[in-house]
Amino acid sequence: MDGIARRASPASRGERTVVIVAFDGVQLLDVTGPVEVFTTANHYGADYDVRVISLAGDAVTTSSGLVISADSAPGTLPPRLGTLLVPGRRDWRSAVADTDLVGLVARLSGRAKRVASVCAGAFVLAEAGILDGRRAATHWELASQLATAYPRVCVDGNPVFVRDGHVATSAGITAGIDLSLSLVEEDWGADVARDVARQLVVFMARPGGQAQFSARLAPRQPRHPAVRRVMDRVTADPAGCHTRATLAASGGVSARHLERLFHSEVGITPGRYVEAVRIEAAQALLADGTGTVEEVARQAGFGSSESLRRVFQLTLGVSPTVYRARFRSTVGAPRPVAG
């Protein structure tokens, strides 16, 4: 192939079939994103047999209301499968309550070389017992729900996708494209995957994790008035002086007692809460404002651009400059001048 070494075709191992399970309420892009990756790979030397199936082989209505057709019913599949991919549904409880769907996924998983999920599809894999004892990812908004509903799953809410043995799980929606690219690379090598990424105009490997897209902190609503007072003080003025002593004073309790209250009611320390609020303030300033990184650092309470860069890199996996480039509002952006 043009002098470029490719990996051996998975067809020689009877593993060229990619099965994507569609069902009513499924997220449309969870299905079409991976389909586009695998079928585009075929234009660059891959040899995938991509099949979208449904329980009865008929059409399904997606989350957007668009109806998509299935290629076939499960009974038409070959005995051995290369990849079984399960997309998600916003209402994951309805998906896991569908015993026919969960049973189908459990049966097909035993015939597949590898099993994967996109977004809330991880809940279906968990319900089928496929994620027991495994590390898994899902959309950042759903990570705590997955961990609570399925305590035997080791949930990681930050990675774009996670691979644990033959099981791969990915974050929200477009992360299914990232995951699919990684599977193409595994099967056919980096050159084919890179060709697909260029064709689809997406990252070959997306920089940073889900933290860059999410609110870093979604604490439980505290019941204790001291904790509420402290949280209100910090959110009202992220750049203020928020030492252990000043926070304890604003809450009317000792510093040690405030630590205990935050641990029990919010799940983190007061200091970590302050940092999280400051990160969110900096994210908003970078996305919506025009100030320099140094100015943003001061306004958000980090003191210096170096401190802001260090915290962003550690927490979000990207620099403030990259974050701004990626998420800056386009409202009011100058239009190109014709002529």
Residues 6+ apart with CB under 8 A from 62: 22, 25, 26, 27, 28, 31, 68
For the question of residue 154 being annotated catalytic, the response is no
d(CA 194, CA 191): 5
Tokens of 198: 């260029």
Q: How many CA atoms lie within 13 A of 324 on its CB side?
A: 16
Tokens of 179: 């995951």
How is 115-183 classified by DSSP, letter by letter? EEEETTHHHHHHHTTTTTTSEE---TTTHHHHHHH-TTSEE-SS-SEEEETTEEEE-STTHHHHHHHHH
Residues 6+ apart with CB under 8 A from 14: 78, 80, 82
Selecting among 55, 105, 119, 192, the annotated active-site residue is 119
Q: For the purposes of burial, counting CB atoms within 10 Å of the CB of 43, is it exposed (0-12), middle (13-18) or buried (19 or more)?
A: exposed
Angle, alpha carbons 229-232-238 (nearest 5°)? 130
β-pairing, 67-68 vs 81-86, is: unpaired
**Selection from 131, 133, 112 nearest residue 122 by Cα:** 131
Over its C-alpha atoms, the chain yields an Rg (Å, rounded) of 23
Residue 278 C-alpha from the chain's centroid: 23
How is residue 253 annotated by DSSP?
Answer: S
The residue type of 272 is R
Residues annotated catalytic, as ranges:
119
